Structure 1
Amino acid sequence: MSDRVTVSVIKADVGSVGGHARPHPLMMQKCVERLKDGVRAGTVDDFYVTRVGDDINLYLTHTRGENNKDVHGLCWDAFMDATKVAKEMKLYAAGQDLLTDAFSGNIRGAGPGAAEMEFKERGAEPIVFFMADKTEPSSYSFPLCKVFMDPFTTTGLVIDPRAHEGFKFEIVDVIDSKKVIMSTPEETYDILTLLGDTTRYAIKRIWSKSDDIGIGAVVSTEKLNISAGKYVGKDDPVCICRAQSGLPAVGEHLQPYMFPALVAGWMRGSHYGAWYPCSVADSDPVFFDGPPRICAVGMHVSNGKFQGLEDPNSPVGVHEPLDYFAGSCWDEARRSAVKASMYMRRHGPFMPAVLGPEEMEYTTRPAVLSKLKERMEKLE
């Protein structure tokens, strides 16, 4: 048996009830059934099925490494099963994120998003899973910079000897499909110069510089507009973060979300709104198809399997994770997010409420300019 474990989160929007709101329970159950088959076949060791808003998220553990065709194929089949249910019920956007007719060996580029990390288990292996709805991968850049670069957020950067060494960042250019590895603290300002442009650059992976720790965080950075050849939607990204013992503590991973940062997406993928930290149960987008939701749940990985709060009656397997944003201490952040989002909405169709034209998911601007072409006159 391998001494390394792979944790994969693969997500997709394949249909929902009430517009872009929530997948039907039967869709979720179809995913559970398919992943149970995967466990019996030995493709994966363990799984958990959850959702954020209208996105189904499949959590998996296995020993096959990242980008494994059998693991990705299993998830593709699960999403296809859920899509069939959605189409039979005539649900909204059935199969939306499945951009090809057949699986070709890897789910990347086919529509669904994926975040995967392979590591050697420590004595205790707490993991925080972040799931976002109605936004894009670069939305994680701000909180991850606060967590892995800011000692006023993560005291461990000052007092933990291994965290004090700093971290390596893989930054991707999602437009030109390039990447660069940069290092903190020595390249902190250069890193921020890139990541401040959230339309182009995003964090993909973060590693500890301490050799005995390895990967610290990974984000799904697939962009559906690039994959499909046209803009078909924001990416509703997921992020996996290992915690404690040389890495940021769980509380340090969560702290940045007390600030409702403005992120791109929201209704029609074409607006800026404030991130709303909430429980999974409260992740339905009920205000102008939003505001953008962020959920955080926690489990341990123990001997290659998930360790959550056991619930034999759970419809998604025996694991029930800790739902970090469910508590009342997040009420003030939620109120601030709604207030900020209402402020942005009052701009109507004017920037900065709406995105720039290159980022708009829906826009009539080209058609309007074409219609006005003959009427446009040069300024004297």
Structure 2
Amino acid sequence: EPIIVFAADKTEPGAFNLPLFRVFADPFNTAGLIIDPRLHKGFSFTVLDVLEGLKVTLNCPEEMYDLLALLGTTGRYVIYKIYSREGLIAASCSTTRLSLIAGRYVGKDDPVCIVRTQSGLPAVGEVLEAFAFPHLVAGWMRGSHYGPLMPVSLKEAKCTRFDGPPRVVALGFQLNNGKLIGPADLFDDPAFDYTRMKVMEIADYMRRHGPFMPARLGPDEMEYTTLPQVLEKLKDRFEKVK
């Protein structure tokens, strides 16, 4: 059985929300949802509210809109686990937000995700396809900016420009007689060159914003960075408008 381990750098657990939704709930990404009777029933998503420590399980496709209402808020609601409708575990993600534990910025969360594939689950190519779109994720420099997620090989996994852009690697293993065979460096492939070129175009565009939103995170997320220390010294200088 093929297993893929995704490991991301310079971002947070919510970075996996969009690609995992596409893998397990979007037929425009995963053809098996339409043509494979074993996938046709859909999947169950367990979503964690990282602020309140609560979880909820929603079924797709029938509760897709409710699921998207949560997953779009990537800083709060993150995919925790995904199951087939028969209860087979299909994916599991790390959900720890370090800043919520420490109460301040102590580095990005660098999340990981394990996805099972084939035999009643999405194919390897369907799982990887979701990462061909370089969606924007929170993190990047000082954990305070949005940047495109770049699928890279292990040799290109080092973050450089503005401590990024945020990156993700995909390591493929084969489970054989209780042993993991591999890994195969799945993003070490020219098929993702176009995606990487788009990443740099998007990254350059976002960087031109400097310290302005929407390149910089919103005030709720910035609360856990070092920005409040800078703003504190200005607090007493504000006056009421008459």
TM-score category of the 2 structures, normalised to the smaller one: over 0.9
Kept in 2, the 8 Å contact 1:168–1:209? The answer is yes
1:160 paired residue number: 36
SS in 1 for 2:187: helix
Offset, 1:373? 3.1
Task: Map 1:322-361 onto structure 2 (within 5 A).
Answer: 322-360=184-222, 361=224
2:241 paired residue number: 379
Cα distance in 2 for partners of 1:270, 1:372 equals 20
Deviations 1:212-244 (A, max 9, x none): xx1000000011112223331221000000001
Kept in 1, the 8 Å contact 2:83–2:89? The answer is yes
SS in 2 for 1:152: coil
Task: Map 1:115-194 onto structure 2 (within 5 A).
Answer: 125-194=1-70
Cα distance in 2 for partners of 1:137, 1:334 equals 21
Kept in 2, the 8 Å contact 1:357–1:363? The answer is no
Cα distance in 1 for partners of 2:177, 2:85 equals 25
Cα distance in 1 for partners of 2:6, 2:104 equals 27
Give the counterpart letter for 2:191 in structure 1: C
Larger mean CA deviation between 263-272 and 220-229 belongs to 220-229
Kept in 2, the 8 Å contact 1:132–1:293? The answer is yes
Alignment partner of 2:164 out of 290, 297, 306: 290
**Structure possessing the higher relative contact order (Cα contacts under 8 Å, 6 or more residues apart):** 2
Cα distance in 2 for partners of 1:231, 1:200 equals 16
Deviations 1:258-285 (A, max 9, x none): 1110000011111111011110111011
Give the counterpart letter for 2:3 in structure 1: I
**CA RMSD across the alignment:** 1.3
Offset, 1:198? 0.9
1:39 paired residue number: none
1:203 paired residue number: 79
1:7 paired residue number: none
Alignment partner of 1:241 out of 94, 100, 115: 115
1:57 paired residue number: none
SS in 2 for 1:163: coil
User: Which one has a bigger Cα radius of gyration?
Assistant: 1
Give the counterpart letter for 2:154 in structure 1: V
Q: What is the aligned length? A: 241
1:228 paired residue number: 102
Give the counterpart letter for 1:267 in structure 2: M
SS in 1 for 2:165: coil
Offset, 1:350? 0.7
Cα distance in 2 for partners of 1:190, 1:363 equals 34
Cα distance in 2 for partners of 1:232, 1:373 equals 24
Deviations 1:83-124 (A, max 9, x none): xxxxxxxxxxxxxxxxxxxxxxxxxxxxxxxxxxxxxxxxxx
* Identity %, equivalent residues: 54
Offset, 1:366? 4.5
Cα distance in 2 for partners of 1:237, 1:218 equals 11
Give the counterpart letter for 1:198 in structure 2: T
1:364 paired residue number: 227
Report the TM-score when normalising by structure 2: 0.95
Report the TM-score when normalising by structure 1: 0.62
Task: Map 1:47-126 onto structure 2 (within 5 A).
Answer: 125-126=1-2
Cα distance in 2 for partners of 1:363, 1:357 equals 12
Cα distance in 1 for partners of 2:120, 2:225 equals 44
Kept in 2, the 8 Å contact 1:299–1:306? The answer is yes
Deviations 1:274-300 (A, max 9, x none): 011110111011211100001111011
Cα distance in 1 for partners of 2:101, 2:226 equals 19
SS in 2 for 1:206: strand
5+ residue gaps, structure 2: none
